[in-house]
Amino acid sequence: MRSLSVVSDGESQTLKLGETLGRRLQKPTLILLQGDLGTGKSVFARGVARGLGVDPEIPITSPTFTLMNHYQARLDLYHFDLYRLSDPDELIELGFDEYAYGTGVALVEWPEKLNDAEIPGLWVQLTRLSATQREISFLLRGDNNSELKSALQDLGANVIR
Angle at 27 between CA 147 and CA 72, to 5 degrees: 140
pLDDT value at 157 more than 60:
no
Beta strand residue intervals within the chain, DSSP E: 3-8, 29-34, 68-71, 77-81, 105-109, 121-128, 134-141
pLDDT value at 53 more than 60:
yes
pLDDT score at 160: 42
pLDDT value at 2 more than 70:
no
Q: How confident is the model at residue 50 (pLDDT cuts 50, 70, 90)?
A: very high
pLDDT value at 145 more than 80:
no
Query: Does the predicted model carry a pTM greater than 0.85?
Result: yes
Cβ–Cβ under 8 Å, residues 137 and 127:
yes
CATH number at residue 103: 3.40.50.300
Q: Across the strands, what pairs with 124?
A: 33, 138
Q: How many domains does the chain have?
A: 1
Domain extent for 73: 3-157
- Burial (CB count within 10 angstroms: exposed 0-12, middle 13-18, buried 19+), residue 87: exposed
- pLDDT digits 0-9 by tens, 60-113: 887 767 788 999 999 999 999 898 888 878 888 888 889 988 899 999 999 988
